[in-house]
């Protein structure tokens, strides 16, 4: 879908429009990470903040209030970038997911 939107010349600021469903999906994903506690809550909170700032920044850029590619717009992208590129991948490679306590006891009972 991203390729189709970028090839369509009738829509200005095509790449910004692609970030809206990405931010909504990211909010759902990080909310589920936060509530399920399969990663530490500060990591999930960083993702929630990052995707919320992305979802807030895109309409502001479309309205011409700020530029997401420079200055304050880049600051809005920093928490999401830290979450996606640095914190979550390193945590998952080093520790993996932590099952909630109730899942552990169910697995022990099943065995």
Percent of the chain residues past pLDDT 90, beyond the cut: 50
pLDDT of residue 6: 56
pLDDT of residue 34: 95
CA 35 from centroid of its chain's CA atoms: 15
pLDDT of residue 30: 96
pLDDT of residue 62: 87
**Domain spans of the chain, in order of start:** 2-110
Q: Is the pLDDT of residue 110 over 70?
A: no
Q: Is the pLDDT of residue 80 over 80?
A: yes
Q: Which residues contact 71 (CB under 8 A, 6 or more apart)?
A: none
What pTM does this model have? 0.77
Cα 80 to Cα 30: distance, rounded to the nearest angstrom: 11
Of the spans 1-10, 21-30, 91-100, which averages the highest pLDDT? Answer: 21-30
Q: Is the pLDDT of residue 59 over 80?
A: yes
């Amino acid at each position: 879908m991203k390729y189709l939107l970028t090839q369509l010349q009738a829509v200005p600021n095509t790449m910004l429009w692609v970030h809206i469903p990405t931010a909504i999906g990211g909010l759902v994903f990080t909310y589920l990470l936060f509530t399920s506690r399969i990663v530490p809550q500060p990591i999930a909170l960083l993702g929630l903040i990052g995707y919320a700032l992305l979802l807030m920044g895109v309409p502001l850029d479309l309205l011409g209030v700020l530029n997401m590619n420079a200055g304050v717009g880049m600051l809005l992208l920093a928490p999401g970038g830290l979450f996606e590129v640095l914190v979550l991948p390193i945590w998952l490679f080093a520790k993996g997911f932590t099952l909630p306590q109730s899942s552990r006891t169910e697995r022990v009972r099943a065995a």
